[in-house]
Amino acid sequence: MRVLLVEDNFIAALDIVARLEALGCTVIGPVGAVSEALEWVERETFQGALLDATLRDGNSVPVALALQSKGCKLCFITGYSNLSYLPDSLKEVRCLTKPIDMNTLQEVVAGFGAS
């Protein structure tokens, strides 16, 4: 399963990459910027994506919308308690709080795999 990881905390991202790989995922990333992530979304397809909500060049809403339109399953990761700026179409997307609990991550990946 190809999973895109968009996260600008590199050290935390390395850990997530290791966990995702242990769960059998092929991880693209970590990608740390909205602009770079959008390039990836345009070029490739993913079954699932983990998106840090706030990146150094803005929030990841545009990336999420682009992925959603391509049928990719999503999950936000964030250090904030609530993401008030999410548009309605993204309100139902699951949101994990940092630091990420690895059992929960496993659930999310299982959800990416389900059709």
Partner 1 sequence: MDDEDKTKQELIAELRELRLEVEAGRRAEKTLRAKQEQWLLFSLATNDMLWNWDFSDNSTERSIRFETAFGYASDEVTPEIDWWIERLHPDCKDRVMSTFSEACDSGASRCSYDYQFRRRDGSYADISDNVFLIRDAETNEVVRALGAMSEVSERRRLEAALRASQQRFQLWSVKSGGEAGKASRPGQQHESRQILNEADHALRLSTAIVENMADGVVLTRKRDGIIALTNPRFDEMFGYGSGELAGQPISIINTSDSPDARANVVQMLTALEEVGSWRGEVENVTREGESLWCHATVSTLENSIFGTVFVAVYSDISEQKKVARRRELLTRELDHRVKNNLATIIGLASQTANRSDSLEGFVKTFVDRLHALACMHEALAEGGWTGLGLDEIVERTMSPFASAARPIHAEGPPFRMASSQAPAFGQALHELATNAAKYGALSTAEGRVDISWSTDESGAVVLQWKERGGPPVSASPSSGLGLRLVKGLIESEIGGRATFSFPADGVQHEIQIPGRAQ
Query: Which residues in this chain contact partner 1 in the complex, by CB under 8 A?
Result: 8-16, 18, 30-33, 54, 56-57, 78-81, 97-100
Kindly tell me which of 15 and 107 has the beta carbon lying closer to partner 1: 15
Q: Minimum distance between the CB of residue 93 and partner 1, rounded to whole angstroms? A: 19
Kindly tell me which of 14 and 110 has the beta carbon lying closer to partner 1: 14
CB count in 10 Å sphere of residue 71: 9
Kindly tell me which of 11 and 114 has the beta carbon lying closer to partner 1: 11
Tell me which residue has tokens 């990333």: 29
Kindly tell me which of 29 and 48 has the beta carbon lying closer to partner 1: 29
Q: Minimum distance between the CB of residue 69 and partner 1, rounded to whole angstroms? A: 25
Q: Minimum distance between the CB of residue 36 and partner 1, rounded to whole angstroms? A: 9
Q: What angle do CA 96, 101, 51 make, to 5 degrees?
A: 35
CB count in 10 Å sphere of residue 46: 24
Chain centre distance of CA 5:
5
Q: Minimum distance between the CB of residue 55 and partner 1, rounded to whole angstroms? A: 10
Helix (H, G, I), strand (E, B) or coil at 67: helix
Strand 58-59 vs strand 54-55: parallel, antiparallel, or unpaired? antiparallel
